[in-house]
Structure formats: C-alpha cells, structure tokens
Amino acid sequence: MSSFNVLLKKEWRENLRTYKLYWIPLVFIIFGVIEPLTNYYLPEIMKSIGNLPEGAEFTWPQFQGEDIFVSLMGQYQMIGILIVILAFMGTISGERKNGTATLLYVRPMSFSHYFLSKWIVINTIVLGSVWLGFFASWYYIRILYNSVAAGEVFAFLGTYSLWLVFAVTVILAFSAWISTGGTAGISILLLLVFQIIDGLIGTYWTVSPWKLSAYAPSAFTGSVDQSDYWLSVGLTVALIILLVLFGIRMSKQNAAKTLV
C-alpha cells in the first residue's frame, strides 16, 4: 500500500505545484458566481448599456433558482469539460513522451496503482472544482432568487458528478492508450460532440451516459422515467469500470513507449 500512497502523494503534489489545484477550482467558481449574477442583472444591464431602441420592451424570462443550477451545468458541459480535457489530456501520454515515466516504470510498481492514483486525484480535483462552483452559485441563488432544497441540490450534483467521473475516466484511459493529441481529439469527440449529437437526435434512445446531464435536473422536477435514469446510471458505472481496466492495461502495454 505504501507504493500506492507514494503515487497518490506524487499526483497531489504535481497538481499542487503545477497550480492546477488552484486555477481549475478558480475557473469553476468564477463561472458559478457569474451565472446567477448575469442572469439576475441582465435586464438592467441591457437597459443601461444594451443600446435598445427607444420604447422597446422585453419580457425577460422569470428564472427560478433551479433554472440557474441547470444553466450553470450547461456552461460546465461545454467550457468546463473542455478545460478538464485540456488540463488532463497528457496525464499519462505526456509522462511517456517526456520520459519522466521511465524512472517509475523501471520499478516494481503496479500499473493499477499507477493508473488509479491519477484517476483518484484528478476526479477529486474535478469534482471538488465543480462542487465549489455550484456552491458559489447556490450562495447567490439564495440571495437573488429562491432558496432551493438541499436534498434536491445534492441529488442533482450526485447525478452530474457521475457524468464527470465518466468524462475524467475517458480522458485518462485514452491518455494511457494513445498520444496527447489523439486523446484531446477523441475526448472532444466523445464528451463534447456526442453531447450535441445526443441533444439533436437523442430522442431515439433513453439510456446513455450522455443522458445523465439531461436527467440530473429531474432532481428538481422529478419528471423523468426512473427506470431510464437508473439504467443510464448503471450503464455509466459499468463503462467507467471497463475504461479503468482498459486504462490500466494500456498503461502497462505502452510502458515500452516511454522515452529512454
């Protein structure tokens, strides 16, 4: 276990000292703060600087606090996921390419420890950042909008977190398999483009990891088919486990590709 601990510590230190542990939460918190504020003040902002024609009247949509959570999730789904991809696409492939992995691979180290230490630390950072972002948003939602029940918020965050773990696992597994550039491309395809595809023609199926972000808001409305929801959750968990196993295998198989 001490070799696993030392790898965990290494990953944590790396993210601390390369400042990812600071800037990633900061970005998510900034989005979390901006979302309720801009939505609340948008009518006034438009009135003062919007250059609207004289006498124009707009009916601004009346947002509820719940809507702000969902629209913040929409921001995270595109910009947030992109940031996560860019920050972690080289986690394993980069170590191989610059040769820093070599001095780890020549030790009697378990590749599952190697992969899982990264998986745990990155998930901690991503989930922590997203949760902090939502909490920051929640603070302003309470002040500016209505108070949202904590149980609903946590159910919403729970579902969305599973999708995030899936996203991190995809990035990491491909980073173990192919180059950093390839990882970026495939992750963008799988995590961003598929989202759009699922949004456009996704009415034909109801069970997929990409549906999780659509199902998460049902925590507020309770309007989703429970069996579809749980099947999607089950499928996502199964895919995460398979991707982790695949990632461990690929880390080991590609160990020889490290720069010597």
Q: What are the residues binding other proteins (CB under 8 A)?
A: 2-3, 6-7, 9-10, 13-14, 17-18, 98-100, 102-109, 255-256, 258-260
Q: Which is nearer to other proteins, 67 or 249 (CB)?
A: 249
Q: Which residue type is seen at 51? A: N
Nearest to 112 by CA among 252, 254, 10, 253: 252
Q: Which is nearer to other proteins, 35 or 95 (CB)?
A: 95
Closest contact distance (angstroms) between CB of 98 and other proteins is 6
Closest contact distance (angstroms) between CB of 95 and other proteins is 9
Q: Which is nearer to other proteins, 103 or 201 (CB)?
A: 103
Task: Report, in this order, helix, strand and coil percent for the chain, each rounded to 5.
Answer: 80, 0, 20
Q: Is the dihedral of CA 34, 40, 41, 46 positive or negative?
A: positive
- Total residues belonging to the chain: 260
Does residue 217 contact residue 144 with C-beta atoms inside 8 Å? no
Closest contact distance (angstroms) between CB of 257 and other proteins is 10
Closest contact distance (angstroms) between CB of 14 and other proteins is 6
Q: Which is nearer to other proteins, 109 or 144 (CB)?
A: 109
Closest contact distance (angstroms) between CB of 237 and other proteins is 31
- Rounded CA gap, 110 and 107, in Å? 9
The overall longest dimension of the chain from CA atoms, in Å, is: 75
- What's the token pair of residue 44? 């006034």
Closest contact distance (angstroms) between CB of 41 and other proteins is 41
End-to-end Cα spacing for the chain: 28
Q: Which is nearer to other proteins, 103 or 150 (CB)?
A: 103
Does residue 143 contact residue 39 with C-beta atoms inside 8 Å? no
Q: Which is nearer to other proteins, 111 or 160 (CB)?
A: 111
Does residue 119 contact residue 168 with C-beta atoms inside 8 Å? yes
DSSP state letter for 213: H
